[in-house]
Amino acid sequence: MTLQRRIDRCTKDDVCVSRSGLADHFVGGFCRFPAGSLDDARLILAQSGDVLTLLIPFAENVLGSNIDLFAGCDRSLDTCDSKFAAVPNYGGFPFVPRKNPFGTRLRGGT
């Protein structure tokens, strides 16, 4: 899912976009300027309402610019299904046990 929004406010590490919509929808995603404008993109680390925290701030003044927002993924099967409806394309291993059975000793052994 891609949305185009206008940057309303900027700080050192954050940009505030108009009507970003869904809560935490863009965490792990990225933002970039539309084709034909500034050729620059940034990873979105956090989202609080309309405020997006970026991995690296933009060097130029981007206030009032339009920006494309791309949804983030937490690499879980549930998110792949509910957010992207892309379970057939899921490349993870959701059913591998989290606890390694070879990381501990067997009981009763010496």
Q: What is the pLDDT of residues 44-89, one digit of tens each?
A: 999 888 888 999 888 777 888 888 889 898 888 898 898 888 889 9
C-alpha–C-alpha distance, residues 52 and 66, integer Å? 14
Q: Look at the alpha carbons of 51, 56, 60, 65 in this order and tell me if their dihedral is positive or negative.
A: negative
Q: Answer yes or no: is pLDDT of 106 > 70.
A: no
pLDDT tens-digit readout, 26-55: 899 998 887 666 678 889 999 888 888 999
Q: Answer yes or no: is pLDDT of 94 > 60.
A: yes
pLDDT tens-digit readout, 1-21: 567 787 877 776 778 887 766
Predicted local confidence at residue 43, as pLDDT: 92
Predicted local confidence at residue 39, as pLDDT: 75
Any idea which fold 2-72 has? Answer: Elongation Factor Tu (Ef-tu); domain 3 (2.40.30)
**Which stretch of DSSP H or E encloses residue 9?**
strand 2-10
Predicted local confidence at residue 45, as pLDDT: 92
Taking each continuous run of H as one helix and of E as one strand, the counts in the chain are 1, 6
Predicted local confidence at residue 108, as pLDDT: 62
Q: Look at the alpha carbons of 35, 40, 43, 47 in this order and tell me if their dihedral is positive or negative.
A: negative
Structural domain boundaries of the chain? Answer: 2-72, 77-104
